[in-house]
Each structure stands twice: as structure tokens, then as C-alpha cells.
A and B are shown apart, each in its own frame.
Chain A
Amino acid sequence: MSEPGLPLQKNLELFPDLHPALDARSAVTEANRCLNCFDAPCMSACPTHIDVPGFIKRIASGNVRGSARVILEANVLGMSCSRACPVDVLCEGACVMHTFNKKPIEIGRLQRYAMEDFYAHAGAGGDSRPGPAPLTHAEKIACIGGGPASLACAAELRRRGFAVRVFDNRPLPGGLTTYGIAEYKLRPSDSLREVEMIRGMGVEFHCADVGSDVSLDELERTFSVIFLGMGLGAMHRIGIPGEDLPGVIDALHFIERYKTEKDFPVGRCVAVIGGGNTAIDAANAARRLGAEEVHIFYRRTENEMPAFANEYEHAKSEGVVFHWLVQPVSIIEGKGRLAGVKFVQTRLGPQDESGRRNAEPVHGSDFNFMCDMAIPALGQTKFVKLLKSSRGIDLTDGSIKVDRATGRTSNARYFAGGDCVNGGREVVDAVADGKRAALAIAAQFEG
């Protein structure tokens, strides 16, 4: 049972699925195209190592329930991942069909087919969602942050008989999976179905802000181990005058609000600042929500733009206009709110030691761009506030430092995974981190 009212009706109409679902016959036909490779590259490429040929062959044989089980065994957020993963650079990108001069198998859509079948049976005949496993350990674990890393960690630990409680400071669990993913990829209700399943496995959820509502000291008294899965912080500010004026809204807030607020208005002419995947998500959404013009401004060029190639193509087909080698200087004010953005042109400087070429403003090349909404999408800050309370948890460059294979931090009672460790990757990376941490934590107490 998801939050009533979500997804918003208007979003269902404005954001039809980016990729339509496969029906039963086309799913079987596509599944039969899969060669059933041994030690398949797609499986290795998947951070959670889903047995891809295994789940695909079960679709082909008509054992869709078995297919879902295979997926969930490796990745408890199989539904979200099937919709949100950049498969072009993961499983589908590794498919041997590329070398065979053939179209790669549509692994993402096949996974989605199996997961939608699984959730379609939820609460009805044929419901295969697992119930709570018996509690076989005295130790309790706390997960801070209710996003994919914590969800995966919690689900795995609870399955092994440990009591787990997830703390998140937002009304609905799921983190960015609920609030931050483009509506045409993943609806809040999809994410919440997964949360419900995990709740049904016996994981407890608590809406509280760790740091203000409850302290780490209190948590340390009750819980043997604490998993840190709080993700990244607020988006970076641009650092220019006027950016707090009404009409300027960062991409994550923009996405959260259009997904959850009924009458959230979008501007007529929108300027998105940044060149990453979140910038593209915001720009595409603005187009769908009715903006007549949507422009993306990036300080470097197409070659340096970090967004995935297919996301870039998608934006172009939505009619988003790209401006290269420009960066914002200040917000132009009119009647107490944003009336436009002043930009300066840039050029690429020499390579630094990491190989990147930084953008340098070209003096005297300022120009004004009039618009009524500006959406900075410059990446998220690191969430260090909580950790500054010196628990002996080492950070590298603001990210929590962990042992890669186990997620253990420099404090033996703390594990971590997801964006707060990897600097901001995909849902699937967070799930993999959370699961590995759960296995390491369980091993600790299972002796």
C-alpha cells in the first residue's frame, strides 16, 4: 500500500513510461534470443551480480515467479533497478551481442517484466513476497537513511534473522528512489511497493532525523552495529548573487516537488544549469510539465558532459536546447524574483593532473538570458554534518572511507554504503554496497 495520491494523476498522463513494458509473448520471444552465456558478462557487469541468464531463461520457460525470485535473491530492489539502471553502460552494455553485431538483449525490460508480474500478485492469490524470517540473533542493527543502500542492508540482515530498524527523516522511505528519480523512469509508488515488501519482511521503519530527533549516542546504546546510508546532502549552490530569489530551485527539489505536489507550476522558459544526468532529468521533466522552452547550460562541451549518452539523446529528442561553454555569473532580478540569468562564455584551459580541462571565463563575453525558472543541477554536497561528531570515522574528500569488500569504516561498529561512500552513483551501486555490508555484519556475529 503506497502513499495515497501518488503518483499524481497529472504525472501519469504527462510522463508515460519512457520504455513501454513488454507483454507476455514479446517477453518470451526476447528471452529466447538470449544465448544463455556461461559466466555471463552481463552478470559480472551488474554491481549486484543478478543471475541474468538465469532469470531470462525462466521467463522463456514460463516460470515468471521463479524469474522474480532469482532477481530478488541478488537485488532486493530489482524493480527500481530494472527501471532506473543505466543498462547501456552496465548489463546491456556488456552483452556479447554487441560483438556479434546484433542488438543486445533487452535485459532491463525483461527484468521489469518479471518484477511487475511479481508485484502484480502482491496482496492477491500467488503472492510470493516473503514474510518475516524468525529472529535468530540477539544483536540489533540500525540503518541511517532509508534509501537503497540501507534498504538492501536491512533486508539482507533481517532475512538472516537480525532485527533491523531504518531511520529516515522524510515522511516516506526510499530516499532518492522515491523522491529523486525522473517520473518517466520510476514512479514514487513503484519505490514504495518495494519498501512495503521490505517492511513485510520484518524490517522496522522510523521517521526521525538522526542528529536532532535521536542522537548517535542513543543509537549506539541500543544497536550493536550502525549502517550509514544517508546518501549525499543538499545540491551544491552555484555561488552567485541572487540565487536565493524565488524562481531559482535546485534540481533535486524540483524533481521532488513535481513528483509529490499537485499544483507545482513550471516556468514558461526554463534554464537548467549543469551537464549531468540530474540536469537532463530536470530538463526533460520541465518539457513534459509544459515549459515552452527548456535550455541546458554547461560550462564545458559535449565531450566533457558527464551525462550518459542515451540520456543526452533523450533530451535532444524532447526538444531541450543545449548551450556549451557558458557559466552563470548572477541572477537577474525583476519584481522581487528571477527574471533571467547573466552568463559568461568560457573556454577550456589546459589539462590538470587528473586529465580534465577546466573552464575559464572569457572576460567581456557576458550575455543575458531571460527566463522565468532556473534549475541549478551541480551535484550534491557530501553529508558530513553528522559525522563531524568525531566517532573515529575517517573520510576521504568528504566521502566515508570503507573497506571495499565489506563496507566497514574505521570504526568497527559502523558500516557504510551508497552515495555517502561512492560520491553519488546509481541505485544498483547502493544496493550492492548495502548487501555486501549486511553479509559482513552477519558474518561477524555468526562466527
Chain B
Amino acid sequence: MGILTPNPFWLASAPPTNTGEQIMRAFDAGWGGAVWKTIGEPVVNTASRYSSVDWTGQRMMGLNHIELISDRSIEDNVREIAEVKKRYPKHTVIASLMVESKREVWHDIVKRAEDAGADGLELNFGCPHGMSERGMGSAVGQVPEYSCTITEWAKEAARTPVMVKLTPNVTDIRVIARAARKGGADALSAINTINSITGIDLDTLTPRPNVGGMSAHGGYCGPAVKPIALHLVQQIASDPDVRLPVSGIGGIQSWRDAAEFILVGCGTVQVCTAVMHYGYRIVEDMIDGLSNWMDDKGYASIDDFRGLTLPRMTEWKHLDLNYRIVARIDPSKCIGCDLCYVACWDGAHQCIHHEGSREAPAARQARSRASISVTPIAKLDFASGKDGHGPRVPQVDEEECVGCNLCSLVCPVESCITMVEVETGKPKESWEQRSSGRVYARPGQE
């Protein structure tokens, strides 16, 4: 992208980058850069603004918000950009911008941000609520022509690199990415938040966040969205018609997440939800952890491993259908929970059995329910031949096992179920090869 930055860990444009005071504290904590909370005509925000999804006792694995862009004046924001850059000249400050779709308005805001000393600009084409209703945010990001045009306008006035932030709420993100490139974008960032409703209060029958008895859809972020973000970033990074540097955003909480985004092509990563959950301090393990992993793998810099996963991603039709693996259960680790057994019977291919039997789950359960067991009492059972039952270890029928590996995912014990490659003696063969170029009809054709 052409911006020098102390480390690839940036804060995303969001509440943690609302004020200069916050950003300076973040830089003190170790963050390498920050994208300012989107600057434009100040808005008024609602109370409440957030809702979340908890997962089996752990808090906030997904966060949803209906907050808009900055509610502070453009003057305050640009003055603070100048302050921050003066005190932290080596740290990266990107100004995120969103104004109404008029050329002069865009020229003006670009100039004011760059005059304040911003190292680069991020064009916000992603807010999925509030701003989109006013023709901004995702209203731009969902329409390739608008994305292209506004990027052009920004580029007309900009002296610093222009990064376009993409919304995931589209059919094919590559189309928008190509449009931004056509408009002259120097880089892309993805993803912004995903349209969501996190849940409904079963007493008030109103979804959260509840604003005076009503609700509106919000933008979903946090660990829950990482898989979606990774996919979209990979799509953009692999597209031959895009070929722009990418800054990865979406549920990054740890150095592992950061490494994964870098492996699919990102030069920097941006974090928001994890900071809102735990504070700026989380960057310490991110830096330290990534650094240790790089040492283990022999990577001297981010560039040494950036994008290394991309050649390993392909379309489904190219996957080898003759590749065979089967599940193997380690009896020494099995705890006898039978979760693999019921998952295979009810949710997969009925290939896991207990010794000497092929009975279905219901029959097995019925037998246990009919059995007679008593409390062991030493003085009454003193001829105690009470056999301590070890864990009952299920067995995989390797002939029948299709290698879906559902069992390995439900098993609670680390490395108890492993997937083992089985030699078939057959050559690699993809679906495309097998169907020898057969073309399937599409709607509108014969």
C-alpha cells in the first residue's frame, strides 16, 4: 500500500478509535496504526446501541451494533488527527471518511483529512444501517458503479493512498472490489459488518438492541464472523482482476487469527471487537505470539508468508475425489462419551459401532434404561466382583467410513480421533475431469 507502519496490527474504524486521546493510549499499548472512526457530518446515535451473542457461558462471541459514524464535529476530528500525528509521527493514522455523494463534498473532506496529516484514507462504503438509508455507506458499497465513481472523486483530490472498505452484504464481493480498482483505489479493506439480528427478548418480544420498545437490524462482528471474513478476503486476494493490497478485518482476536488473514494475502490486520471486549492490551499477545510463530517457521518478515495459503485454495470442482481418509479412534484417549457414535448414526453415515453389535442409538439407549443397577455398598457386596467398566470405546468400520470427519469434530478429547489417509491406488481425479467438461444449463439458456 505504500505506507510504512511499525507493525501490522491496526485498530479498525470504530468506537476504540473515536478520539485522539484513545488512539494515543492505543499506540502506547503497542498498536502500529489506527483507522479513525469514520469522519463526516456528525450524527446522533441511539441508546442502546449494541447486542451480542453469548456461547455456552462465554460472553460475546458475536457483537452487533447500530452505531453510526462519528458524532463529533469534523473540526474536532481533524484537529485531533494533527495532534496524534505530531506526537506519534511513526505510527500510522488512516482517516476513514463518509460524506454525501457529491464530488465537491468528497474533495473537501479528503483535503481536510490530509492537511491534518493523515497517512492515508479509508473510504467507508460499508455501514449497513442508518447511513445506508441516507444513500451512503453500504448503499454505495452494494452498487459497483457508485463505488467506482466515489473512489474516482476521492482519488482526484488525494495525495495519500486511498483504501476502499468493502461491505460483505453483497452477492459477489469481487464485483465491487474490481469497481473500486477501476476507480483507482490503492488498496482494499474487508470486511465491514454483516447485517444481523442477534436475538429476541422472549418477554418483550422485541429484538435487541431495544430502543424505546423498537429495534433495527445492525452490523455483526466479532469472532463469529471470522470465517465469513476470511472467505471474502481470500476471494478478493485471489481475483486476477483485483490485485490490490488488502487490510484484513473480521473477528481477529489473537495472533493466530492475524496469521490466518496474512496467509490469505493481507498486509495488515484491523481489530475492533476484541478491543471493545478486552481493551487495548490484547495487542501484546498478538505481537508476541505472531513473532514467536514466525521464529518457529523461519519467517523474518510478514512478506515471507503473506499469501502462502492462496495457491492452496481452489474451486470445489478441482478437488481430488479419489483422496480417501478414514477416522481412527484412539482407545487410550477415549472417555466413552459416545458422542461420535450418535453423531455418525444420526448425522452422518452410520459407520461407528460398539463391539460386536450394529445396533442403532435408540436400541442401545433402551437397553441401558431397562438394566438394573444398585448403589454399591461394601458390606452388602463383599463378594465384590463388580467389574469396573472402563470407557466403552466405539469402533469405526473403515470399509464404510466416508471420511467426512464429523466424529473428529464432535469428540471432546484432543487427538482422540484422527483422520488417516488410506491408499486407494487410484490417480488424482477431480469432478471436472470425471465429468469431462460437461456443461450444466443455467437459467435463461436452453
Report which A residues bind B (CB closer than 8 A): 28-29, 32, 35-41, 43-47, 49, 60, 85-86, 89-90, 96-97, 99-100, 276, 306, 354-356, 404-405, 422-426, 428-429, 432, 436
**Would you call A37 and B338 a contact (CB within 8 A)?**
yes
A424 to B381, CA, bound (A): 12
B375 touches A426 (CB 8 A): yes
B337–A38 contact, CB under 8 A? yes
Does B279 sit at the interface, judged by CB under 8 A? no
Which residues on the A side are within 8 Å of B368 (C-beta)? 39, 43-44, 49
23 pairs of residues in contact across A and B, judged by CB atoms under 8 Å: A28-B57, A29-B57, A32-B57, A36-B339, A38-B338, A38-B342, A39-B338, A39-B361, A41-B389, A43-B368, A46-B373, A47-B374, A86-B375, A97-B335, A99-B336, A306-B378, A354-B383, A405-B372, A422-B374, A424-B380, A425-B375, A428-B375, A436-B372
Annotate B354-384 by CB proximity to A: 1 below 8 A, 0 otherwise. 0000000100110011011111111110110
Q: Separation in Å of the B408 CB from the closest CB of chain A? A: 15
Q: Is B6 an interface residue when CB atoms closer than 8 A count as contact?
A: no
Q: What 7 pairs across the A-B complex have the smallest Cβ distances?
A: A38-B342, A38-B338, A37-B337, A99-B335, A32-B56, A96-B335, A306-B379
Question: Which chain B residues border A424 with CB–CB below 8 Å?
Answer: 377, 380
* 8 more A-B residue pairs beyond the given contacts A49-B373, A306-B377, A423-B380, with a C-beta to C-beta distance below 8 A: A35-B412, A38-B361, A39-B338, A39-B368, A44-B368, A100-B335, A422-B380, A426-B377
Look across to chain A and name the residue whose beta carbon is closest to the beta carbon of B345: A38
Q: How far is the CB of B356 from chain A (nearest CB, A)?
A: 16
Q: Tell yes or no: B341 within 8 A of A by CB.
A: yes
Chain B residue nearest in CB terms to A41: B336
Instruction: Name the one of B339, B371, B375, B378 contacting A37, with C-beta atoms under 8 angstroms.
Output: B339
Alpha-carbon distance A276/B412, docked complex (angstroms): 39
Determine which of B338, B339, B375, B382 lies in contact with A355 in the assembled complex, contact meaning CB atoms within 8 Å: B382
Known: A38-B337, A39-B361. A425 touches B377 (CB 8 A): yes
A36 contacts which chain B residues (CB < 8 A)? Answer: 339
Q: Assess the A276–B375 pair: CB atoms within 8 A.
A: no
Bound: A44/B365 CA distance, A: 9
B42 within 8 A of A: no
A32 to B412, CA, bound (A): 13
Is B391's beta carbon under 8 Å from chain A?
yes
- Which residue in chain A gives the minimum CB-CB distance to B371? A44
Is A99 touching B383 in the complex (CB atoms < 8 A)?
no
B413 within 8 A of A: yes
Would you give the shortest CB distance from B425 to chain A, in whole angstroms? 36
Q: How far is the CB of B410 from chain A (nearest CB, A)?
A: 10
Residues of A within 8 A of B336 (CB): 37, 41, 96, 99
Bound Cα distance A41, B388 (Å): 12
Which residues on B sit within 8 Å (CB–CB) of A96?
335-337, 391
Nearest-Cβ distance from residue B439 to partner chain A, whole angstroms: 46
A43 to B336, CA, bound (A): 13
Assess the B383–A429 pair: CB atoms within 8 A: no
Residues of A contacting B375 in the complex (Cβ-Cβ under 8 angstroms): 47, 85-86, 89-90, 425-426, 428-429
Interfacial chain B residues near A29, Cβ < 8 Å? 57
**B-side contacts of A45, CB under 8 Å:** 373
Which among B335, B368, B383, B412 has the greatest number of chain A C-beta atoms within 10 A? B335
Collect the chain B residues with CB atoms within 8 Å of residue A32's CB: 56-57
CB-based nearest A residue for B372:
A404
| A residues near B377, Cβ cutoff 8 Å | 306, 424-426
Residue of A at shortest CB range from B384? A355
Chain A residues, CB < 8 A from B413: 100
> Nearest chain A CB to B13's CB is how many angstroms away?
35
Chain A: CB-nearest residue to B336: A96
Q: Are B380 and A425 in contact (CB under 8 A)?
A: yes
Distance A239 CA – B376 CA, assembled complex (angstroms): 29
Whole-angstrom distance from the CB of B203 to the nearest CB of chain A? Answer: 12
- Distance (whole angstroms) from the CB of A150 to the closest CB of chain B: 18
Cβ of B374: which chain A residues have Cβ within 8 Å of it?
Answer: 47, 422, 425, 429, 432
Instruction: List residues of chain B with CB within 8 A of the CB of A44.
Output: 368, 371, 373
Q: Could you tell me the distance between the alpha carbons of A96 and B135 in the complex, rounded to whole angstroms?
A: 57
Closest chain A residue to B369, Cβ basis: A49
Which chain A residue lies CB-closest to B337?
A37
Contacts of A47 in B (CB 8 A): 372-375
B370 CB to closest chain A CB, in angstroms? 8
Tell me the smallest distance from the CB of B223 to a CB of chain A, in Å. 17
C-alpha gap A295/B39 in the complex (Å): 79
**B305-347 interface bits toward A, Cβ cutoff 8 Å, 1 = contact, 0 = none:** 0000000000000000000000000000001111101100000
For B335, list chain A residues within 8 Å (CB). 96-97, 99-100
* Complex Cα–Cα for A39 and B340 (A): 12
A355–B57 CB distance below 8 A: no
Report Cα–Cα, A100/B382, bound state, in Å: 29
Q: Is the CB of B372 within 8 A of A38?
A: no
Give Cα A425 to B413, complex, Å.
36
Shortest distance in angstroms between A337's beta carbon and chain B's nearest beta carbon? 32
Q: How far is the CB of B368 from chain A (nearest CB, A)?
A: 5
Q: How far is the CB of B3 from chain A (nearest CB, A)?
A: 44
For B373, give the chain A residue with the smallest CB separation. A47
Smallest beta-carbon distance B196→chain A, Å:
22
Residues of A within 8 A of B382 (CB): 354-356
Using Cβ atoms and an 8 Å threshold, which residues of chain B touch A428? 375
Interface centre among A96, A424, A425 (most CB of B within 10 A): A96
Which residue in A60, A86, A276 is a CB contact (below 8 Å) of B56? Answer: A60
Q: Which residues of B contact A40 (CB under 8 A)?
A: 337-338
A60 to B56, CA, bound (A): 8
A417 to B124, CA, bound (A): 75
Determine whether the beta carbon of B380 is less than 8 Å from that of A35.
Answer: no
Of the candidates B375, B378, B379, the one having the most CB atoms from chain A within 10 angstroms of its own CB is B375
B391 to chain A, nearest CB (A): 5
Please name the residue on chain A nearest to B375 by beta carbon: A426
* Residue contact B339 to A35, C-beta cutoff 8 Å: yes
Segment 385-401 of B: residues with Cβ below 8 Å from A: 389, 391
Question: In the complex, what's the smallest C-beta–C-beta distance from B207 to chain A, in angstroms?
Answer: 18
CB distance from A158 to the nearest CB of B (A): 22
- Please tell me if the beta carbons of B364 and A39 are within 8 angstroms of each other in the complex: yes
> Would A38 and B339 count as touching, CB distance under 8 A?
yes
A39 B383 Cβ-Cβ under 8 A: no
| Contact (A355, B372) CB under 8 Å given A39-B361, A100-B412, A100-B413 | no
In the complex, how many angstroms separate the beta carbon of B57 from the nearest chain A beta carbon?
Answer: 5
A303 shortest CB reach to chain B, Å: 10
> Closest B-chain residue to A98, C-beta based?
B335
Shortest CB-to-CB span from B352 to chain A, Å, is: 11
Name the CB-closest residue of A to B378.
Answer: A306
Q: State the CA gap A422–B56 with chains docked (Å).
A: 42
A428–B372 alpha-carbon span in the complex (Å): 12
* Complex interface: chain A residues within 8 A of B361 (CB): 38-39
Closest chain-A Cβ to B329's Cβ sits at a distance in Å of 14
A46, A49, A424: which has the most chain B beta carbons within 10 Å?
A49
A39 is contacted by which of B365, B373, B376, B379 (Cβ under 8 Å)? Answer: B365
Q: Mark B238-257, 1 if CB is under 8 A from A, else 0.
A: 00000000000000000000
Residues from chain B with a CB closer than 8 A to the CB of A99 are 335-336, 391
